[in-house]
Amino acid sequence: MRRRHLPLLALPLLARTAEAMPADLRFRIMREGSAIGTHRVGFTEAGGLLTARTDVAIQVKVMSFTVFRLSHVFTEVWSGNRLVSATSRHDRNGTVKEMAVRAEGGALLVTGTAQGSGAPQRLPAEAAPLSWWDPRRFAGPLFDNETGRPLQLQWSRAALPNGGTRWRASGETEGEASYAADGTWLDWKTKGDDGSIVTYERF
């Protein structure tokens, strides 16, 4: 499930402050009405750093045979509004991609499978991964949390009852998510590679 981003008008910060540690998130991943996996985000805080670990596990079966399997573990460490480091291990049907990001010298340096053995890719110090749990990051610049490459998306938003917001990303990849008035992530929807509708439900 790829995600991308484009320049966007300045966005107001939501009610949740940068210092408050978010509550853990758990989603059931649904495909055409059937559960196929889970997406969990756990948060810890120590020494002034916020760590968010995302675990995605998907398994699609047809007549008891596994036809698709994906696991993705992505960990990001924040100091206030700046990313300190991030690591990713993405396994799609046995094909593994790894990526690491670290803050250094006024930039973010990206190494991993997509970069090969060459020099690390440089991203702006204010760049953030598109991991969806914090919509304040949508102002960008954003990078893909699987490969570390810069992303371009077009964004739109709509007001929801009780002060919530629904954000929609369009471009090479489609995705949309709802957030409560305090910025808490509530759901997500996209299209799978086969055109099926994939949704996230809190549990």
As a whole number, the mean pLDDT across the chain is 88
Q: Which two tokens stand for residue 196?
A: 């099926």
Q: φ and ψ at 102, to 5 degrees?
A: -140, 145
Largest CA distance in the chain: 53
Q: Is residue 53 part of a domain?
A: yes
**pLDDT band per the 50, 70, 90 thresholds, residue 195:** confident
Boundaries of domain holding 122: 25-202
Q: Is residue 145 part of a domain?
A: yes
The confidence score (pLDDT) of residue 8 equals 37
Q: What is the pLDDT of residues 147-170, one digit of tens each?
A: 999 998 889 999 999 999 999 998
Q: Is residue 14 part of a domain?
A: no
The amino acid sitting at 54 is T
Q: Is residue 18 part of a domain?
A: no
Q: How many domains does the chain have?
A: 1
The confidence score (pLDDT) of residue 19 equals 55
- Return the closest-CA partner of residue 11 out of 152, 180, 162, 183: 183
Q: Is residue 19 part of a domain?
A: no
Q: Is residue 40 part of a domain?
A: yes
The confidence score (pLDDT) of residue 7 equals 35
Q: With contact defined as beta carbons under 8 Å apart, do 40 and 26 qualify? A: yes
Q: What is the pLDDT of residues 7-41, one digit of tens each?
A: 333 343 343 444 578 999 999 999 988 999 999 99
Q: Is residue 10 part of a domain?
A: no
Q: Is residue 20 part of a domain?
A: no
Q: Which two tokens stand for residue 155?
A: 């964004």
**pLDDT band per the 50, 70, 90 thresholds, residue 81:** very high
CA atoms lying within 13 Å on the CB side of residue 165: 18
Read off the pTM: 0.86
